[in-house]
Structure 1
């Protein structure tokens, strides 16, 4: 079953406009990505399993729900690291992994240069973070690798996704839950999303094109 959710909440869209603005500084860009990730995470985590635990308030004994799932957060490096830190701040109980994969334009294929996941992730819920999904090739490669470990439900959390990228993800991995702030108009000749936010990694870390 194909699942795609576009978050049109005013706060999310306001922060997306900040990210789109080319005059936004790297510091503000990083902070906005962090804040926006928190808003997106609110939506993607609403169905996490909880359990009732005993709590002593300043006034009496009571019970309350606490998250009972072993959640695995995975960053697609390098831009995904900014989202990962925000997710860890919200869910310090979660475990985290990193995948480094890029598309090499010369060999016209993806290249994996780093792969590190926590142990015992079979059947575990995965939150996969990447600010931008353009062609979708890198995300597909990451999803392929994650499924080699027989993980549970995968949620792809992204700021922007192209129609082409979404179609590719849904074709090869229709069971993956995709959540984004915007499905963009398309891609330009260099593979950048339109209207887009430019190169997320460069803008996050103030590096050159």
Structure 2
């Protein structure tokens, strides 16, 4: 049996825990600083440095919220515009003054291209939202993608699900709720229930 030593110190991996550790240090260094031989100026400088870091973290959080709001607004506006343009396309087509040349010039003509499915490569991105791994990948011209995963680098990758919407939430519970856990993922595109193309990049998340 191999014993694994776990470190528990000030440098927390979790952002919330790290923030709390900083606030605790600010409060306690004012009490213990003089005993440690620190001057009032040194204590104030240390507190100012930590407060600057916390302010930067708060600014980052605000930017993330603003970015998510902007992305959501873009999607809504795009969906509304697409609906409008489809209706507009039909209106133009029915107009007696519309010629084929005008139709093409407006970009309303439908074109098709052929693509070799063996060249398709999924580009996987992943993050943790509400404590769950969330995988994202553009479907491109396929029906979706299969998700393969393994835990803590042990064993072979196993099929855990399929996405047809460009997003997949891995809602599996952790093996041990009290321990951190790594999960690796990769994808394969699917067309008519058949795997096509090449394997995606591998992404690892730590829960």
Question: TM-score scaled by structure 1?
Answer: 0.27
Question: TM-score scaled by structure 2?
Answer: 0.27
More strand by share: 1
Q: Which has the higher contact order (CA 8 A, sep 6+)?
A: 1
Larger Rg: 2
